[in-house]
Structure 1
Amino acid sequence: MNQSKRYLDIVRDIRDMVRQEKLKPGDRIPSERELAEKMQVGRSTLREALRSLELLGLIETRRGEGTFLSDHRNHKLVEVLSTFILQDNRSHEDVWETRLLHEIAAIQTICQNRTTSQLNIWDSLRSRLKKDGFHREDFVRELMVLSGNRLSLKIWFLLTQYSGNPYDKTVSVNEVDYMDKTLVAIEKQDTTTAVHEFKAWSDWLKKERTRNGNHT
């Protein structure tokens, strides 16, 4: 298995493992070391995947005991959402728009927070945009995390996971400008421009997926 495997792929692998081994809520899952060895992935990426699952309420870590599957009702939420999303094209479109609403709300929140909008992370993100191999998902997830809204982050993660993730590729030269302008506007606390550029990037992604034969 590829060492550089993305954390969302690892999340799916863990979910498949749970199903195959018929683990139930309350059952212990393998340790971080055991999972890393079994999946042949880096510990840092695996840790990120486990953190995402914990944010979603699908697993819980008990100090000194290990990591366990959480209450089944949280799993039902995932299954219900995925079933709905897979129904038809209209549902896919609704998911795209709903995810975008959460992303825009995150940008607005960041722009309105002087401390967050002036963090050094924005310079770092702009620098990483110019390098090969930077993932779209890293860019958007950073915005969601920095907005500080944990519930919105949970919903966003689910919407992204079950809508044919539009952020599963690395950033191309054709989209860097949209993303860079978004970050510059955030640093200036220019909400209008930041949202405008992010929406323009989202529209570009949608057109790109249509050209490649994918659907939202």
Structure 2
Amino acid sequence: MKQPKRYLDIVRDIRDMIRREKIRPGDRIPSERELAETMQVGRSTLREALRSLELLGLIETRRGEGTFLADHRNHQLVEVLSTFILQDNQSQKDVWETRLMHEAAAIRLICQNDSLSGLLVWDSFKKRLDEDEGFLREDFVREVMVLSGNRLSLKIWFLLQQYSGNPYAETVSEPEKELILPILNALEQRDTESAVQSFKIWSGWIQKRRMQNGDDS
């Protein structure tokens, strides 16, 4: 059975389309409907991909006009960071730890914000765990990063996520449920230290499993 396209797959497809069709900064990209039909993906998943690309500053939406490719010259920091990571062969551990730093910072920001910690999304994730409705690890972590509202951190995280081998590409497994639930509870209770500590425990569990499976990329 063919697996449905995930968020990062769609982002890569959009990037490839931009290169293939030689879309330049300031040019309009196809509409959400056109992209969904061309890529044969669901509108909701595509919308999430476009939303994050906009938060990253890579595309911009103009009301009544459409969505346009942003000027890449505004993103020199991302390019410099990308070059640094690609040239540093010993940095896999550093990449993992740096990504975790940004995730922990995002969790702290959410815990310190009444409206964010009180969002129904955390309860929704808990219900999905209780009802055995599988979801990607990335669904949860990306929600944390986007809701934190730090666009610069999101840009850096997006790159680190890819260069650490996309550790959140898998569906949450049964053993993980007991690791994620304390994170969700702590977020709702605005318990910063518990939320961060629980997240680090979960991250360490993922890293250990990847090493055991021989996936240390």
State the distance in 2 between where 1:30 and 1:202 align: 37
Q: More displaced, 119-128 or 38-47? A: 119-128
Aligned partner letter, 1:196: Q
- RMSD of aligned Cα (Å): 2.1
What is the 5 A alignment of 1:61-100? Answer: 61-74=61-74, 77-100=77-100
Q: Alignment identity in percent?
A: 72
Aligned partner letter, 1:169: E
State the distance in 2 between where 1:18 and 1:45 align: 19
Q: Does 1:43 align with 2:34?
A: no
Partner SS state of residue 168, structure 1: coil
1:152, distance to aligned residue in structure 2 (A) = 2.1
Q: TM-score, normalised by structure 1?
A: 0.89
Match of 1:199 in 2: 200
Q: CA distance change for structure 1 residues 115 and 27 in 2, over 3 Å: closer, same or farther?
A: closer
Q: Is the 8 A contact 1:61 1:67 kept in 2?
A: yes
Q: Is the 8 A contact 2:78 2:155 kept in 1?
A: no
State the distance in 2 between where 1:178 and 1:65 align: 45
What is the 5 A alignment of 1:1-216? Answer: 4-74=4-74, 77-130=77-130, 131-216=132-217
1:68, distance to aligned residue in structure 2 (A) = 1.5
Q: More displaced, 127-136 or 175-184? A: 127-136
Q: Is the 8 A contact 2:52 2:146 kept in 1?
A: no
Q: More displaced, 58-67 or 45-54? A: 58-67
Q: What do the CA deviations read for 1:108-127 (whole angstroms, capped 9, x no partner)?
A: 22222334323332221111
Q: Is the 8 A contact 1:3 1:42 kept in 2?
A: no
Q: More displaced, 117-126 or 47-56? A: 117-126
Aligned partner letter, 1:189: R
Q: TM-score, normalised by structure 2?
A: 0.89
Specify every segment of 5 or more residues in structure 2 that has no aligned partner in the other structure, as ranges.
none
1:88, distance to aligned residue in structure 2 (A) = 4.2
Specify every segment of 5 or more residues in structure 1 that has no aligned partner in the other structure, as ranges.
none
